[in-house]
Chain A
Amino acid sequence: MKYVDEFRDPELGAALSGEILSLVEPGRHYKLMEVCGGHTHSIYKYGVDDLLPENVELVHGPGCPVCVIPMGRVDDGLAIARRENVIFTCFGDMMRVPGSEQTFLEAKAEGADIRMVYSPLDALRLAKANPEKDVVFFAIGFETTAPSTALTLKRAKLEGIENFLCVCNHVTIVPPLRALLESPDLRLDGFIGPGHVSTIVGVRPFEFIPKDYGRPLVTSGFEPLDILQGIQMILAQIAAGKAELENQYARVVPYEGNVAALRVMSEVFELRPHFEWRGLGFISQSGLRLSDAYADFDAELKYETPGVRVADPKACQCGEVLKGVIKPWECKVFGTACTPEHAIGTCMVSPEGACAAYYQYGRFAREREVV
């Protein structure tokens, strides 16, 4: 696969790994957060953390769009999905995210017409093919996926497709980052900036992290060499006593983002006053809903939903795990009330979340030693 394999060259990886080793002070512990779930996935898939010195720790951030959806929103979606006249659609990885009683997969087994789609346009096609039914798309994701939902809604409006509806759970990345940074017990030394989100919003919205909070941020791509280079750039800044915004992913991410995508988003969406995040609680101005111009497509307006906030058990400490304050096993509900089978917090929902990884692989998640 030309143009991809170049970014997975193990020799270049080993070279970068050596540079990283030369940048860290022995005895000092470095905690870097990769904000985006896509980075977490690549780090896991390629074993990138194996190429890091022991004292450089990667903390998985709140950027997994599936894991941050709270139980109450899943329950709302389920209430719509169970209706007689509805074909409910969502992305495949949403199917197993637990609501307070059920997942979409279980509701499907009970007879709800729930279908997996690969794009919102697939849902729109279903709406055209089934004019006698309402086709509801359960939209999730950060600024990366919001433009495709927005464009689909624009198209539905243009073509006058009235049986297409959307439950909008789109969220924005900056508010949860700010919430993490605001916390007095923050233990993070730097950030690997979210490459995919930045293709839409650009790099500018992250300027506040070095400026106001004195932490370096390097926007990085998703191939293993991209991530290693991002880490190397962050550590170089720390070694030089700097905190700056850098763009490792300039081959894709323009500084000002994708203006056309931002325009269509602002036309179709508006900010909610607040939105709930699994494990993190309510964060103000962090979620999107459909704008008044698109109210006819808003499933939350058309259908009654429970709209109940299903509280995460008080003992859930995802926020602390995400901030790097505590280890997964130090959380009060870890391994007892919160397990991969019955996940409470975002860190346990995603198989790549810090808690799920630790639960599954135990001490091995840390030691990585094979005999």
Chain B
Amino acid sequence: MTPETDAAPAVSDREQKILNIIEKTRAKRPRFKADQVTMAHGAGGKATQTMIEGLFVPAFAPDEEGDAHGLAALADAGRVTVDGTGLAVTTDSFVVKPLRFPGGSIGELAVNGTANDLAVAGAKPEAITLAMILEEGLRADDLRAEVEAIAGAAAAAGVKIVAGDTKVVERGHCDGMYITTTGVGRIDPRASLSPAALRPGDKVLVSGPIGEHGTAIMLSRDEFALDAEIESDTQPLWPAADALLGAAGEGLRCMRDATRGGVATVLNELARASSVAIVAREGDVPVRPDVMGAAEILGIDPMYIANEGRLVAFVAPDVADAALAALRAAPGCEGAAEIGEVKTDPPGMVLVETAFGGKRVMDLLAGDPLPRIC
């Protein structure tokens, strides 16, 4: 519907020169130049990316450029090989506010979050360690409830808690309870996953309706006069990962759990890591109507809202249907859907075909729609 007319200008020399300058600037490794840490550095968007790639990676992994399994690959879990056995190791901390919310609590998140980072790395979660920072004055009943939640979630996910640590800080120096977990898992022999493995033609799957965790947290804070019965989607993802590995085998390129920054952030990270374009079809993305309604009122795109029990998988086209069927048969993944496709150009970019029939670029968020969701 857009016919070529002579009104469409060609790219002039001067414009091309400026485009080249921009391209060069964008291709450079980001530098961490902030004077202080702001909430934006914790939001999972551009500021976070600048801090990680501009400060942490150069300090911890200066020689790892191109290593698909090191820190610089920025996968959900790192990889260690011990006597020929591939292990995945990951760590995560949890500062969610409030501690309990519809559908879950900080303790449950701490177990599932870490177990899921292992699962999407293609590793069956085996054991986790647990560090708790407690605020003076925290009610013992609240602590008891979280200990029970952690034990329950660990049993459900099939992981053992094998070590731990506690610290107590003065009142006002933390907010009730912060939890850090580290997890170890055995890398499944069927897994050959890498964020750089996406190829044009690959299909993008999500394991269920998106945006429920972030929306549940938002509404539970009572900052908005909105009522809806939306529960967090927190759940262990190993059964889903296992099903995908079984159905797609080597055709499974990569998996990510779509936590902070949501599905949009996952797609952006992988488009960059694989130097491909990703096109998502908005109309095919599963979102519950009440989540859609809340997001509409708050002016937030569900694609950016955090999930705690949803993964995004990238699969070769020839195994996509089998992978989707297997995913839908996994517990809690009945609502899985194919939401898009990997393309060639423009590399590193994510596009959305809107349900209205238009197209737009879906970038990393510059800032923070909502702090402390996990």
- Please list the residues of chain A having a beta carbon within 8 angstroms of any beta carbon in chain B: 1, 4, 8, 10, 13-14, 17-18, 21, 26-29, 44-55, 95-96, 105-106, 108-110, 118, 224, 327, 329-330, 334-336, 339-340, 351, 359-365, 368-371
> In the complex the two chains form, is A54's CB within 8 Å of B354's CB?
no
- Cα(A45)–Cα(B357), bound, Å: 11
Set B15, B346, B352, B360: member contacting A329, Cβ < 8 A: B15
Indicate if the CB atoms of A54 and B7 lie closer than 8 Å.
Answer: yes
For chain B, the bracket of interface size reads 35 or more
Looking at B179-187, B304-312, B325-333, B361-369, the stretch in contact with chain A turns out to be: B361-369
| Chain B 280-322 per-residue mask, 1 if CB under 8 angstroms from chain A, else 0 | 0000000001001100100001000000000000000000000
Which residue of chain B has its CB nearest to the CB of A356?
Answer: B366
Do A364 and B361 have beta carbons less than 8 Å apart? yes
Asked if A110 and B36 make an inter-chain contact with CB atoms under 8 angstroms apart, the answer reads: yes
Residue of B nearest to A5 (CB): B355
Contact among B4, B301, B358 for A51, CB-based, below 8 A: B358
* Assembled-state Cα–Cα distance A105/B42 (Å): 13
Is B141 interfacial (CB 8 A cutoff)?
Answer: no
CB of B298, distance to nearest CB on chain A (Å): 9
Q: Which 3 A-B pairs have the closest CB atoms?
A: A47-B358, A50-B358, A55-B7
A145 to B32, CA, bound (A): 37
Q: Are A370 and B343 in contact (CB under 8 A)?
A: yes
Nearest-CB residue, chain B, relative to A362: B19
Can you list 10 A-B contacts with CB-CB less than 8 angstroms, sorted by A residue number?
Answer: A1-B289, A46-B356, A53-B5, A118-B224, A334-B18, A335-B18, A335-B22, A362-B19, A364-B361, A371-B277
- Mostly, the B contact residues are loop
- How far is B282's CA from A47's CA once the two chains are assembled, in angstroms? 11
Is B1 an interface position by the 8 A CB rule?
yes
A96 to B279, CA, bound (A): 29
Partner of B39, one of A46, A105, A359: A105
Besides A110-B36, A359-B22, A360-B361, 7 other CB < 8 A contacts? A45-B301, A47-B359, A95-B367, A105-B39, A109-B38, A335-B21, A362-B19
A113 to chain B, nearest CB (A): 14
Instruction: Give the distance in Å from the alpha carbon of A213 to the alpha carbon of B360 in the complex.
Output: 33
Closest Cβ of chain A to B18, distance in Å, is 5
CB-CB < 8 A to B359: which residues of A?
A: 47, 50, 368, 370
Decide if B140 is an interface residue (CB 8 Å cutoff). Answer: no
- Report the separation of the CA atoms of residues A4 and B296 in the bound assembly, to the nearest whole angstrom: 10
B64 touches A (CB below 8 Å): no
Chain B residues, Cβ within 8 Å of A49: 358
Q: Which residues of A sit under 8 angstroms from B349, Cβ to Cβ? A: 361, 364
Within 8 Å by CB of B6, from A27, A45, A336, lies A27
**Is residue B59 contacting chain A, with contact meaning CB distance below 8 A?**
no
A-side contacts of B343, CB under 8 Å = 370-371
Question: Which residues from A are CB-within-8-Å of B3?
Answer: 21, 26, 53-54
14-38 of chain B: CB within 8 A of chain A: 14-15, 18-19, 21-23, 25, 35-38
Q: Is the Cβ of A362 less than 8 Å from the Cβ of B35?
A: no
Considering the chains assembled together, what is the distance between the CA atoms of A8 and B38 in angstroms?
A: 37
**Bound complex: CA A303 to CA B149 (Å):** 51
- A118-B223 in contact (CB<8A): yes
A18-B1, A106-B35 as given contacts; A363 in contact with B11, CB under 8 Å: yes
What are the residues of chain B within 8 A of A48 when measuring CB–CB?
A: 356, 358
B353 neighbours in A (Cβ, 8 Å)? 47
B157 contacts A by Cβ under 8 Å: no
CA distance A334 to B19 in the complex (A): 11
Which of B15, B279, B354 has its CB near the most chain A CB atoms (within 10 A)?
Answer: B354
- Report yes or no: A29 in contact with B7, Cβ–Cβ below 8 A: yes
B residues in contact with A371, CB < 8 Å = 277, 343-345
Assembly CA distance A110 to B349 (angstroms)? 34
Question: In the complex, which of the residues A28, A96, A110 has the most CB atoms of chain B within 10 Å of its own CB atom?
Answer: A96
